[in-house]
Every structure is written in structure tokens, then in C-alpha cells.
Amino acid sequence: MRLPFLGVSLILLLSVTFGIGQSSYELATKQILDRAKDRMRHVWSLNRRIFVQLTAKGKSPLGGQVLNSKLEVEAETYRLFYDLAGNLSVVSVAELNDPLLRRRVQRMAKLQLQGLRPKDYEQAKDLLRQIHNFVNGPLVCPYEDCSARGSLAMYPQIMNKNMHTKLYEDLVINWKAWRRAINEKDVAKNTFIGYVRLLRIAATYNGHVTPSRTWYLNYDTENFQAEMEAVVWEIMPLYRELHAYLRREVQAAYPKADTKSDGAISAPIMDQILSQDWYPHQFFRTPHQGRQHQLPSVHRRLEEVLVTPVKINRKAAEFFESLGLMVMPNIFYDRFSRRMNDEEGGAECKSQVYYFPPDVALRYCPKLDYKKMMQIHGTMAELQYHLYKMQLPFGLDTEPCPGFGAAIAETVILASGTPRHLHRLHILLNDSLTEEQSLNRLFRMGVHTLIAVPQYFINDKFLVDVMDGRIGVKDYNCAYWGLQDKFAGVQPPLQRLNKDFDVDFKFYRGLNPETSNTKKFLAEILGFQFYRSFCLASGQYKPGDPNFPLHNCDFYDSKEAGKKIRDMMQLGATRHWRDVMEIATGERKLSGRGILEYFAPLFTWLKERNKQLDIEPGWDADELCRRD
């Protein structure tokens, strides 16, 4: 267990033992938290320094100063929360009258990886760095010879190669080569085993007999995995229709894959499908062919109308101002909004938010395209959230559960990408697409969302079932493929053994609690729930009215939607996330209803099209994983 540190915590121990007055007990608890906030101010000052270093003229974004500052932030943050949890662990919450003080203690007395003792925490960081290298390190020689072109990383090089190739053989070669490279001598599997061991140790410090309770720490829900699974089954009828349609496209494009008419889809092909969601030369056909039915190109109009990323940033900020949220002052753009260097992040660069109260700052991607325009709206949601949360007591100045803020951001991303909003920005001539274009757009978005959601769940479930001992080491691989079969209709491209370790690169990314698959799952599902609610409140979604479908809802300028967003943001973590979501949705559980209503026209078309082609939804995967 973590031991409390002498000082104020000693007063707490004495007060429990010898009955010191309740007011003194609460005062001592507040003093612990006040001292922790003083230390947090130092961390915030380091964040400010990092922002200044990154934006100073002539400074390299990868310079040693920045790296040292980031390492210092990580070390200081760990020491702060580790010490604080040790002190708060002796606090008897029942002795506290102030409900906010009780909630602060409850949330900060238990930790995930930061609850590990220093030696174990350093080991966990080392393992996460190694796991990161599995995905981003140049480790792979697909054709056995790297002398000419050098080794490749799974992301982005191999992923980009897979996105462009039209040969099934290439997909399989790359799929095998990456797994062979990272798991030579069982390196990847042993790294994962070591990491799970540390997650279990962290759970024991929290008093959790079931380790996954620490993984799901701030969801405060018994059997949260069961709630996620219920959502997967709720949207499964739609997923099965999309899967059946795509399976037929796979059969036409990749005959060598030998995909059965009632079978699962090969994993490397499903990975390619997901990577080609918005790729213009994808192998699968959209519902309506013909040039007149394809989505209008907005890139040229973006350049003509919005001209620069700076203007896009201001337009994104205006979206929130129209809702009645905070106005970003000129001083923000003058002092706290800076452009990234062109070499940072490549084509997939993402804007970054820096939090150092009383200020927030932004480093934005210099690219000018449709995808970045939508993403910056999500980034502005994060900025707004920080501005509201910083008014709250330390420890509650955060989102109520991981992924909650990203869910709010998802709603604005969805709204900003609609034809109705693009028309408002004078990028499209009309505020709606033709019926054929609209269906093609929904299909693309369906590939982007509906294929990803079950994968988030599978990756989360596999990790949690391993942590809790429901899957043993000897059964890892076949258990993983069993989940892929059950929830996604995906199978390996060739015969595999239980001694192999075939989890995909998105699984490794999700091992870090900061980027967990749990968080991504909740952001997608709750995001569509929020979006539906905001659209109903704004009057821009009228169920049954073809002129106001959910998929073309732009709740810009809706003070009703804005009030829901502001009320949630202002609460931070002062209340349970279910209480906060109820403000917007009137519901207290995750639901697939938002997704089903959003994609309703696509669902109808897929059912009719599959019936016309005599395609039966569902699958029976081949037995391609053999238990040793």
C-alpha cells in the first residue's frame, strides 16, 4: 500500500484516533489539497515554459530544452499525485461534511499507473515507450531486405502502403512482417505480460480485488464492460448489414483472399477498409456511382473563402461564441495561438492545447483542408472546456470521466462538417446534398465510425479480460481471434497458433490510459448521444422530417444547445459523469440510439441493397487459430 506522508496527514490520523473536532479534520484535509495545488502551479508554469520554448523563433520543436521540460513535467506530476494519494488514503470520507471536499478526496485518493511506487512507475514508463516503438519505430523489413530502402514503421509508413496497394499479397506480407518484427523471441507478448503485471499491482494499491476496476477507475460503474458490450449489440444489426455489403466488395476486389459469401473478412483487408474511409481511390464502391453523385470537392473553396488556418481557427471559435459560450479575446490570438512548424506531424498533424491557468494556449496545424477544419472545431471545444473547468476546485477541474470532453468535441466536429454548415461558411452553394451524394457521404462516415467502434470494444475487452484473469497467457491469441469473430466478423489471413500474438497496432496504442480504447469508445458513442440531443434542442433535427435529418444538423447559433454544453462544462468533475450527461440527454446510460438515428438512411439502403443481391448478413469465421 501507499504510505501517508508526515505533516498534515498526521493530524488526520490523530483526529480519527483521538476524536479531534470535525472542523479541524476538514481544515487539515483542505490544507493537504491546498499544498498539492501549490505544487500543481509549478507544473503549470512548466507547461507555459514548454509552450514558449516551442513557439520561440528559431527554436526546433524537437530541441533538448523542450524534451527536458516535458520530462520534468512528467516527473513532477507523478510525484505530486503519488504523494497526494498517499496523504488522502488515510482520510475518512464519512467524516467530511462538504460534498465537494468528499468528491475531491474520493477521486484523488486512487490512481492508475501514477499510484505505482517509483521503481515500478519507471518500469511502466519504459514498457510504454517500448510499446510506442512497436507502432512508430522503424522495425519492419517486409521483403526481408532493408539494405536499399531501410526499415519501416507500422505507422505511418506501412499503414500508408496498405492504404494504397491493390494487391492482397502485399497486405498479407505487411501484416505478417510487422508481427514477426515486434514479436521476435516473444518480445511483444512479454512486454504486454509485464505491463499487465504492473496494472494489477496498481489495482492492489487501490484496494481493488478485480484489477479492471482500476482500469475503469473514474467511470465509477460496476461492470462497465457489460454496458459497453450492450451498446455494441444494439448497433450490431447496422454493423452486420455494412459488413455483408463490404464482404461482397472484398470478394470482387481480392479473389485471392478466398472470402466466403457467409464468412468473415480477412484482418488486413478490414484494416485497409478502415484506412480508406475518406481515401478517394478506395477499393470498395459507394452506394451511387457516377461522377455526378460523388461528394463535391471543398478544398479549393476552403482556400478561397477561409484563406489561412488562422481564419479557420477564428471561424471555429465563432461556432462556440454563437452558442453563447466564451468569446476568445484578441489577446488569445496575439499571445497564445501559434502555428506549428511545417515539418511537425506531417500530413496527419494535430493541433495541441496547453493548459496553464489562468491561461490556455494553442499550437495549430498549418494544413488547410476539410479534415483539419473539422478537427480544429474539436480542439476549440477542448479550449472552451479548459476555460470553464479552471474555475473549479483543484481535483475537480477536469472531465468527469475519460473521453467525456472528447465526446463534446465530437458533436462540434460532426456539426461543422455538415453541408448545412459548409453552406453557412460559403464553401458549398447549397445547404444540402442530393439524395445520392448524401447517401455516399453517410456510407463514408459509416465506414469511419461503424467499423472502428467494435474494434475499440474488442481491444478494451481483451485487455480487461487478461487483467482480470479470464484469459490466460496460453490462450491469448485464440481468445483475441475469438473476440474478432464474435464482435466484428474478422479473421486472420492465414492459420495462426496460440503461441503467436496478433493484436493490431491500435491495441498497443490503447494500452496507455491517456489514449485508451475505453476512452475512444465512450467518445464515439456518447458523442453521437450528445449530438442528437443538441440537434433536437436546436430544432435542426426533426425526426421524420426529410428536410431536417440528423446527419445534416448544424446546431450553430443555438443558445439552447449552448446552454447544455456550458452547463456540462461548468460542472467539470464535481458530479458523476452520468449526472452530467443527463443534463444534455435526459439519459444515464450509454446508448447506440444516436448512431442508429444518424445512419438510419444508410441502414435502410443497406438492407434493401443486400436483399436485392441476395446477401445474407452475418458470418461464420473459419477456424484459423489452433490451440497448441
Half-sphere exposure for 430 (CA within 13 Å, toward CB): 10
The span from the CA of 162 to the CA of 145, in Å, is 19
Angle at 38 between CA 119 and CA 405, to 5 degrees: 80
pTM equals 0.95
Cα(541)–Cα(554) distance, rounded to whole angstroms?
A: 9
- Tell me the residue type at 368: L
Question: Which portions of the chain are predicted below pLDDT 50?
Answer: 6, 14, 18, 60-62
Q: Which residues pair with 266 in a beta bridge?
A: 491
Q: What does the alpha-carbon distance between residue 178 and residue 397 come to, in Å, rounded to a whole number? A: 41
Q: What is the pLDDT of residues 283-326, one digit of tens each?
A: 999 999 988 888 888 877 888 887 788 899 999 999 999 999 99
Longest dimension (CA), the chain: 82
Q: What is the pLDDT of residue 18?
A: 47
- DSSP codes of every residue in 161-230: HHHH---HHHHHHHHHHHHHHHTGGGHHHHHHHHHHHHHHHHHHHTT-SSTHHHHTGGG--TTHHHHHHH
Q: 176, 267 in Cβ contact below 8 A?
A: no
Q: Cα dist. 179→208, 451, 462 in Å? A: 34, 22, 18
Give dist(CA 33, CA 80) in Å, integer. 11
| pLDDT the model gives residue 346 | 67
**How distant is the alpha carbon of residue 297 from its chain centre?**
28
Nearest 5°: phi and psi at 602? -65, -40
To the nearest 5 percent, what fractions of the chain are helix, strand and coil? Answer: 65, 5, 35
pLDDT score of 6: 45
- The kind and range of the H/E element at 41 are helix 22-55
- DSSP letter assigned to residue 346: G
Residue 156 preceded by cis peptide, ω within 30? yes
Encode pLDDT of 364-387 as tens digits: 998 888 888 999 999 999 999 999
Contact 626, 495 (CB under 8 A): yes
Annotated binding site for chloride: 219
d(CA 235, CA 450): 8
Whole-angstrom distance, CA of residue 181 vs CA of residue 184: 6
Rounded-to-integer distance, Cα 14 and Cα 297, Å: 70
C-alpha–C-alpha distance, residues 605 and 268, integer Å: 27
- Average pLDDT of the chain is 93
- Which residues belong to the annotated binding site? 219
Which bin fits 280, alpha (ψ -120 to 50), beta or left (φ > 0)? alpha
pLDDT digits (tens, 9 = 90+) for 206-235: 999 999 999 999 999 989 999 999 999 999
pLDDT of the residue at 2: 60
Task: Compute CA 488 distance to the chain's CA centroid, rounded to the nearest angstrom.
Answer: 19
Phi, psi of 59 (to 5 degrees): -95, 140
CA distance 373 to 385: 19
